[in-house]
Structure 1
Amino acid sequence: MFLFKRPLISALFRRKIQYPKSLNIKPLITFQINKMSTTVTIPEKQSVIYYDKTGGPEVLQFSTDFPVPSDLASNEILVKNRYSGINYIETYFRNGIYPASFPYIPGREASGEIVAIGSDVKNFKIGDKIAYLGNQNFAQFTKLDSNKVSIINVGANATDDQLKLYAASLLQGLTAITLINEAYNVKEGDYILVTAAAGGVGLILVQLLSKIKKAHVIAVASTNEKLNKAKVNGAEFLLNSSELSYDQIADKILEITNGKGADGIFDSIGKDSFEMDMKSIKRKGTIVSFGNASGAVSPLSITRLSPKNVKIARPQLFGYVTEPEEFQFYTESLFDLIKNGDLKIDIYKVYALKDYKTATIEMEGRKTSGKILLEIPN
């Protein structure tokens, strides 16, 4: 089903990851340049979610009259999307935290079928099913550069359920698996704090940390229902952020760790929880701030790290999977974990494309858990 050759899980979870030279992995994708070919009729208009100014969910628009990408370069492919993953990062672009050009079509990951290719694209054919990381996929059709490393050819026979799973796991799964190996290489027996522990990345982190890394997971979430879900997935200590202030949560973490603090913190909340992180991190510990759910962390004086020799990372996924060998290594490892049953992807709900506004309002209101998806109309 995958392009990959053999399991690499054992290599992934060593103290030092030896890639890419020792793996002798060839690039996933090559390309040449010329004309486009297709065997299906592609419409001129499509359904999309878009916005043309920053703001809250009210700026989101659904259109059935948006132009389908045309004029493919010979190294490009056109994908008819089937499912697209919803990720919190979209709110950062919509709110203006990250820059966006208008009209802006959201979307970071999707799965679907190739319906047109540049004539010199050799690694794909029309009818292939793919999963990919890329932009503008809250839409029926997306144009991709086949030279990008972040495309997986899953074959023409991939089922609808498989396409749903690929779209649900790719971005958040790769984020989690790289964070615990690259941003902070978690060791067995570490005490690790995970905020938003019942979210899409959070639940994956909890599983990998507890089951694969053998760490003690301290889960923070906003309801007891979410905390119970984190517990089922391997969290050992549960802290409710609706019942406790972040300062009180920090005190609880110090109590759990006998006053030493957490060895590592994976925090996607951002501004509101940062002082908790600083208070509850262990001497020589590492804070990994990878999200801004409550807003961006205020500028930090570097001298604040000195009293406990704290390390801080602010990573992004693509910095870890830039090269083809890196993307192949981590993607193979992720899907091996899923295939072997070591990692479960919790799909909370699948929304219709036209209902994205409802989906993000519920997500931003902390009414969802696990992964939420968009089903793209045929």
Structure 2
Amino acid sequence: MARTVIISETGGPEVLTLTDREVGEPGPGQIRIRHHAVGLNFIDVYQRTGLYKLDLPVPLGMEAAGVVEAVGEGVTHLKPGDRAAYAAVPPGAYSEARVMPAAQVCPLPDGISFEQAAAIMLKGLTVHYLFRRIVPLSAGDTVLFHAAAGGVGLIACQWAKSDGITLIATAGSDDKCALAAEHGAPHTINYRTEDFVARVKELTQGRGVDAVMDGVGKDTFEGSLQCLRPVGCMISFGNASGPVPPFDISRLAAMGSLLLTRQTIFSHISDYATCQKMAADLFDKVLTGAVVPRIGQTFPLEEIAEAHRALEGRRTTGATILTL
């Protein structure tokens, strides 16, 4: 048995229920992992509220780190006793232990703690695909990154700096802007007190940025498009402020033949070899010090509802970790 957070209906944080659940043995292609730390992400909120549909009842959580207890037939890259971490479907990371598919579970180097791993797997692999797998970005390019003081954003600030990419960071307070700057963003914009479109145009001498990376959604979508150079790329990867309304794609031509894409991490890591390579790249960034995970707050598993309230209320910085 393992304590596990499930939802039986969609709604507010109050629908999160901690219960004892049987774990069982891994089948072919599966492992059983005992968690030491679990990551909290906005996708968990989207699933809890019903924005992203799941069959109920269902456990939540997409990111964790721990020790492999057992492996099923056909699993060769992991063995009992191995340290491991993952960002993966199906959900179920909000638990002391679980059985899950092995393909997206990655061996964890000794130089990275369980807490650090739970802070970087989903967020860091998201940054990897944003900078490496969508449009060609290289040293000297300029990127606008929204919500740069969050878990994904602080990794993005450091990743961009290590790759020689200029990152313009937006955040909702002067303190959060300062945090983004501390993590490598050379330019910051407090979107509550500044017009981020005008400021981006000023910083780029009217040219616009090569790419916008936007996990905020509805509130920043229109302005983000206005920040792009001709044939620049708008990468939408989240809906923290709500989903983007229906959009007339002919406007992209009129605004400079812009590119627009809506991404999800799970498309990029669905292939075993690709996932393992992306994780190895991410671990290298951490082990070399190019990316230093920032854990802004921790909550015990039994306080999962309060953790969700803090995340939705934008009262968090960096990554949020659940302890077991």
TM-score, normalised via structure 2 length: 0.93
In the TM superposition, residue 81 of structure 1 has moved relative to its aligned partner by 1.2
1:187 lines up with 2:143 in the alignment:
no
Q: Find 2:55's aligned residue among 78, 101, 123.
A: 101
SS at match of 1:58: helix
Whole-angstrom distance in 2 between the partners of 1:121 and 1:90: 28
Matches within 5 A, 1:1-378: 45-63=1-19, 66-70=20-24, 72-118=26-72, 121-134=75-88, 135-146=91-102, 148=103, 150-154=104-108, 158=110, 162-212=113-163, 214-244=164-194, 248-307=195-254, 308-376=256-324
Query: How far has the Cα of 1:218 moved from its partner?
Result: 1.1
- For 1:313, the aligned partner's letter is T
**Which of structures 1 and 2 has the bigger CA Rg?**
1
Aligned 8 A contact 2:209 2:232 in 1: yes
TM-superposed deviation, 1:281: 1.4
Contiguous gaps of at least 5 residues in structure 2: none
Q: Contact 1:124–1:153 at 8 Å: present in 2 too?
A: yes
Amino acid at match of 2:222: E
Distance 1:325 1:119 in 2: 18
**How far apart, CA to CA, are the structure 1 residues paired with 2:207 and 2:76?**
56
Aligned-partner residue type, residue 8 of structure 2? D
User: Tell me, what secondary structure is at the counterpart of 1:228?
Assistant: helix
Instruction: After TM superposition, give the deviation of residue 275 of structure 1 in Å.
Output: 0.7
Contact 1:68 1:141 in 2 (8 A): no
Deviations 1:72-114 (A, max 9, x none): 4244321111111111111111111111111221111111122
- Render the CA deviation track for 1:131-185: whole Å, top value 9, x for unaligned: 1223201011211123x2x112338xx58x7111211111111110111111232
Determine the C-alpha separation between the residues in 2 that align with 1:333 and 1:132.
14
1:328–1:120 distance in 2 versus 1, CA, 3 Å: closer
- Contact map agreement 1:184 1:286 (CA 8 A) in 2: yes
State the alpha-carbon separation in 1 of the partners of residues 85 and 23 from structure 2: 19
CA distance, structure 2, for counterparts of residue 82 and residue 71 of structure 1: 19
Structure 1 CA distance, aligned partners of 2:247 and 2:76? 48
Q: Percent identity?
A: 30
Q: TM-score, normalised by structure 1?
A: 0.80
What CA RMSD, in Å, does the superposition of the two structures yield over aligned residues? 1.8
Greater alpha carbon shift after TM alignment, 276-285 vs 67-76: 67-76
- AA partner of residue 318 (structure 1): F
The 3 A distance-change label for structure 1 pair 365 and 335 is same
SS of residue in 2 equivalent to 1:183: coil
Pairwise CA distance, 1:70? 2.1
The alpha-carbon deviation at position 228 of structure 1 amounts to: 0.4
CA shift for structure 1 position 124: 3.5
